[in-house]
Amino acid sequence: MKIAPLYRAFKAVDSIVAKIVHTGQHYDAAMSDIFFQQLELPNPDYFLGIGGGTHTEQTAKIMLAFEPILIGEKADAVLVVGDVNSTLACTLVAIKYNIPVFHVEAGLRSGDRTMPEEVNRIMTDSVASELYVTEEAGMNHLQNEGVDSSKMHFVGNTMIDSLVWYLPKLDSVELDPALAELLDKKPILMTMHRPANVDTREGLEQLHKIIQTATEFGPIIMPMHPRTRNNLDKFGLWDEIKKTKELYITEPLGYLPFVKIMKSALAIITDSGGIQEESTYLGVPCLTFRTSTERPSTVDIGSNTMITEPNMKLLSELLFSIVAGNYKKANIPPLWDGHTATRIVEHISNKYASTDSVG
C-alpha cells in the first residue's frame, strides 16, 4: 500500500528508473501476492523469497540476497518503506556501499524498544540520507534525536495515497455474500496479530474476552492472521474461539475487500499500526489494544483510542459511546491528502536526478 503510489509517481518521471525488490518477508500468498494484484503493481523485478525465521535469520538472509542485486544494478539510491526487517536489512546493505537511502514513513516512534519495529525504525532513520515523515510528531522525534534538519521532510502518508486512490473503486469490489450481508448490520472489524497479544495463552484468553465483550454490540468480522491462527491451535483455544456466536472468522483479506469492510464498520478493534491511520482518514472509530502508538496523530486528531491494558469495562464504555453516537469527532491530519508520493518523487527528482538518470 505504501509502494503502489510511489510506483505510479516514479513512472511519471523519465529521469528515474525505479525497480521493485520484493524480499518475501511476508510470504503468505494471501498476505502478499494478492496485494500486488489488487494494487495494480507489476510483478517485482526481483523476488528474494526469504520466508519465515527469527528476526535475526530474516534480516541476515535479506542482506545476503539483496547485496548482489544492489551491486549488479549499480543502484544510485535505495528507497525503503515502513519498519519491517526488510527495511533495516536493505538499509544496512546500501549504507555499507555508500549508497543513499530514502526512508518513507520515517520518524515514527512508540517509545517501546521491545517492539522489533521500533528498533528497525530507529536504526534506519539514524543512517538514511532522506527521511520522509508522515506526521508532525515524527519531525519532533527526529529533531530530538539530533537529526540534521536538512534530511527531514514532512510530506504526508503514502498509505493514505492508496486509500484515496481506491475509495472511488470500492463499489465494484465483490465480497463473499455472507460478508456482504453483514455490512448492512454495521459489523465490528477486528484484527489481532502482535506477539504481545497473541503469542501466549494469557494473551489469547484476553483476546477471547475482547471478542465476547464486543459481540454484545454487534457482529464481528475477523480476518485471521496466520500467526494468531497458529497460536490458537498451539494453545488448544481454536475450537473455543471459533464457536463464539456473532463472530465471523475469515481468511486474510486482500486490500480492497478489507477497506470496503472497514469503511462500513461500526468500529475497528485492532493492534495494527496502519489501520489506525486508515480508520482516521475514514472517520471510523478505532480501538487499539497496545501499550503505545507510534502514530499519535491518530489519537490526538483522528478516530483512534488506545486501550493500554485488557480493560473490558473501558471497551464496553467506548463501544456504547460509538453506538450512541457520542464518540469523539475525528479530523484528518495535515498532508494526508492523497498526494504524498508525488511530493516525495518530486523532491528526489529535483535533488538527485537533475542531470543524470537515477536508478
Which CATH number fits the domain 176-324, given the four candidates 3.40.50.2000, 1.20.140.10, 3.40.50.1380, 3.40.50.970?
3.40.50.2000
* Band of residue 19 on the pLDDT scale cut at 50, 70, 90: very high
CB 42 within 8 A of CB 20: yes
What is residue 28's predicted lDDT score, i.e. its pLDDT?
Answer: 57
Q: What is the DSSP letter of 231?
A: H
Which residues lie below 8 Å from residue 125, measured CB to CB, with a gap of 6+? 103, 106, 107, 131, 142, 145, 147
When pLDDT is cut at 50, 70 and 90, the band that residue 39 belongs to is confident
DSSP 146: T
Q: Which of 193, 225, 339, 347 is catalytic?
A: 193
CA atoms of 31 and 21, how far apart (whole Å): 17
Position 355 scores a pLDDT of 47
CATH superfamily of 3-157+336-352: Glycogen Phosphorylase B; (3.40.50.2000)
Q: Is 193 a catalytic residue?
A: yes
Q: Encode pLDDT of 273-299 as tens digits.
A: 999 999 999 999 999 999 999 999 999
Residue ranges per structural domain of the chain? 3-157+336-352, 176-324
**DSSP one-letter code for 25:** S
Neighbours of 42 (CB within 10 A): 9
Burial of 355 (0-12, 13-18, 19+ CB in 10 A): exposed
3-157+336-352 with 176-324: one CATH topology? Answer: yes
Q: How many angstroms separate the Cα of 210 from the Cα of each of 13, 283, 319, 354?
A: 48, 22, 12, 54
- Are 46 and 20 in contact by the 8 Å Cβ rule? The answer is yes
Amino acid at position 271, single letter: D
- Integer-rounded Cα Rg, in Å, for the chain is 20
Does residue 358 carry a pLDDT above 90?
no
Residue 8 backbone phi and psi in degrees, to 5: -65, -40
Closest CA to 232 of 216, 215, 211, 214: 211
Q: Give SS3 for 6.
A: helix
Q: Give the model's confidence band at 37: pLDDT under 50 very low, under 70 low, under 90 confident, else very high.
A: confident
Q: What is the pLDDT of residues 90-139, one digit of tens each?
A: 999 999 999 999 999 999 999 999 889 999 999 999 999 999 999 999 99
Q: How many CB atoms lie within 10 A of CB 197?
A: 22
- Across residues 336-346, what is the average pLDDT? 98
Residues 6+ apart with CB under 8 A from 196: 203, 271, 290, 291
pLDDT in tens, 200-246: 999 999 999 999 999 999 999 999 999 999 999 999 999 999 999 99
Mean pLDDT score of the chain: 94
Centre a 10 Å sphere on the Cβ of residue 308 and count the other Cβ atoms it contains. Answer: 12
